[in-house]
C-alpha cells in the first residue's frame, strides 16, 4: 500500500513569488491536513480538508490557501512568499474524521 506522497521534495523560491505544493493521500483516505514545521514555531496546523471541503483552518494569513480534489489529492498554495515561509511543509492523510493520521516526508521550501 503506497504511503502519502508529497511533491516536490525540495523547492527554492524567491521572495514575492508564489508556490504550489502537492499531496497525494493513501488510497481510500478522504481527509488531508497540512502542517508547517519551522525551528522557531515547531509544528503548526494550516488546514484540513475532507471530501473537498475545508473543515478547519489554522491561524495563518490569507496568503496560505489550499484545496482538495475529487480524488482526494490536495494542493496548498502560498502567494507573495516571504523569507519566514521557509519551512518543511507536511501533509497528513486520514481515512476519515477521528482516525489515525499518516504523514508524508514533506516538502522543504526555501525562500531566498
Partner 1 sequence: GDSVTQMEGPVTLSEEAFLTINCTYTATGYPSLFWYVQYPGEGLQLLLKATKADDKGSNKGFEATYRKETTSFHLEKGSVQVSDSAVYFCALRLEYGNKLVFGAGTILRVKS
Q: Does 106 bind partner 1 (CB under 8 A)?
A: yes
- C-alpha–C-alpha distance, residues 88 and 97, integer Å: 24
Among 23, 50, 74, 87, binds partner 1 (CB under 8 A): 50
Q: Does 17 bind partner 1 (CB under 8 A)?
A: no
Half-sphere exposure of 54 (CA within 13 A, CB side): 12
Among 12, 27, 52, 55, binds partner 1 (CB under 8 A): 55
Judged by CB under 8 A, which stretch of 16-24, 43-51, 63-71, 72-80 contacts partner 1? 43-51
Q: Does 60 bind partner 1 (CB under 8 A)?
A: no
Question: Cβ(3)–Cβ(104) under 8 Å?
Answer: yes
Give, in order, the Cα–Cα distances in Å from 45 to each of 1, 3, 28, 78, 100: 26, 20, 23, 15, 16
- C-alpha–C-alpha distance, residues 112 and 108, integer Å: 13
Rg from Cα positions in the chain: 13
Q: For the CB of residue 48, give the shortest distance to partner 1 in the complex, in Å.
A: 5
Q: Does 31 bind partner 1 (CB under 8 A)?
A: yes
Residues that bind partner 1 (CB under 8 A): 4, 31, 33, 35, 42-43, 45, 48, 50, 55-56, 58, 90, 92, 94, 97-106
Amino acid at each position: 500500500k503506497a504511503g502519502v506522497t508529497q511533491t516536490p521534495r525540495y523547492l527554492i523560491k524567491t521572495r514575492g513569488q508564489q508556490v504550489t505544493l502537492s499531496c497525494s493521500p493513501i488510497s481510500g483516505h478522504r481527509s488531508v491536513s497540512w502542517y508547517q514545521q519551522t525551528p522557531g514555531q515547531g509544528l503548526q496546523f494550516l488546514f484540513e480538508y475532507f471530501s473537498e471541503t475545508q473543515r478547519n483552518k489554522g491561524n495563518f494569513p490569507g496568503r496560505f490557501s489550499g484545496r482538495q480534489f475529487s480524488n482526494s489529492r490536495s494542493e496548498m498554495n502560498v502567494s507573495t512568499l516571504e523569507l519566514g515561509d521557509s519551512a518543511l511543509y507536511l501533509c497528513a492523510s486520514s481515512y476519515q474524521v477521528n482516525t489515525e493520521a499518516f504523514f508524508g516526508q514533506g516538502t522543504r521550501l526555501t525562500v531566498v
